């Protein structure tokens, strides 16, 4: 299960990187409110990246690094610390 999540986030990372530059607008000089359309795309994409990164910090943080990262619950709290009694 964790392996699948790692691959899922890896795909997200690659997509975020690849589309930071809007290749599909190559050669396009359309401007909107004085700025090139491709620049608007980029700005929007960076905001989206921040949102995705934030979601990652809540749901996936530790994945691929901490062996039991998948035990972190979706709301960001760590069940290990809530449960207590695990000797740490």
Binding site for other proteins (CB under 8 A): 13, 16-17, 20-23, 25-29, 31, 33-36, 38-39, 42-43, 46-47, 49-50, 53-54, 56-57, 61-62, 64-68, 78, 80-81, 88
Q: Write down the least CB distance from residue 16 to other proteins, Å.
A: 6
Q: How far is CA 58 from CA 7, 53, 69, 70, 88, in A?
A: 17, 9, 11, 11, 23
Phi-psi domain of 64 (left: phi exceeds 0; alpha: psi -120 through 50; beta: other): left
Q: Write down the least CB distance from residue 28 to other proteins, Å.
A: 6
Q: Write down the least CB distance from residue 84 to other proteins, Å.
A: 12
């Amino acid at each position: 299960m964790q392996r699948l999540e790692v691959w899922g986030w890896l795909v997200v990372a690659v997509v975020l990187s690849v589309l930071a530059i809007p290749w599909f607008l190559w050669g396009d000089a359309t401007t909107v409110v004085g700025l090139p359309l491709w620049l608007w795309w980029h700005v929007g994409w960076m905001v989206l990246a921040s949102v995705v990164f934030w979601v990652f910090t809540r749901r996936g943080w530790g994945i691929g690094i901490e062996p039991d990262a998948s035990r972190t619950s979706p709301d960001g709290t760590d069940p290990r610390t809530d449960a207590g009694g695990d000797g740490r």
